[in-house]
Amino acid sequence: MKKNEAESFLFIDTRTLAEVNFVGIADVRGLVNIPYVTFPDSLDREYNAKKKVVKLVVNSEFAETVTAALKKKNLSKSAPVLLMCRSGNRSAKAANLLHDSGFKKVYNIVDGFEGDKDKKTGHRTVNGWKNSGLPWKYGFQRDQILTGFSE
């Protein structure tokens, strides 16, 4: 991809920082991480004792952060925004949220970064960015992470 092509759209990995940190990230110029869901402020409300997990909540600053990322690239809400998550489900919800917030060209990477689970093993090895031979890596640049930390 040529440098000027990467500047004409925004490519967002919507997974949590933990997922990006431990599973890897697409190795694409200009890709940023803006989590669609985050951990809640209060564990009391979102802890599921039966499943023994914490329910993630929608990032209330998601659309605002996407707008800021576009502005940083001198782009508007009419510029293409590509979204990817683990398997395509969260990024589809993120795409709907952005569309409802006035973004004009929002696209979901259907099979996500890891894709679907193999029926025999239960591991995500069927499709997706990582399993299709597209460029990916462990590790990321600090400027790729756009939410979750105070500056």
Give 18-40 pLDDT, tens digit per residue: 999 999 999 999 999 999 999 88
What are the extents of the domains in the chain? 3-144
pTM, full prediction: 0.88
At the fourth CATH level, the homologous superfamily of domain 3-144 is Rhodanese-like domain (3.40.250.10)
- pLDDT value of residue 113: 97
Summarize pLDDT for 110-136 with one digit per residue, the tens: 999 999 999 999 999 989 999 999 999
Q: What is the DSSP string of the chain?
A: --HHHHTTSEEEE-S-HHHHHHH-EE--TT-EE--SEE--S-HHHHEETTTTEEPPEE-TTHHHHHHHHHHHTT--TTSEEEEE-SSSHHHHHHHHHHHHTT-SEEEE-TTTTT-PBPTTT-SB-SSHHHHTT--EES---GGGB-SSS--
Confidence category of residue 94, pLDDT binned at 50, 70, 90: very high
| Residue 141 pLDDT greater than 90, yes or no | no
Confidence category of residue 148, pLDDT binned at 50, 70, 90: low
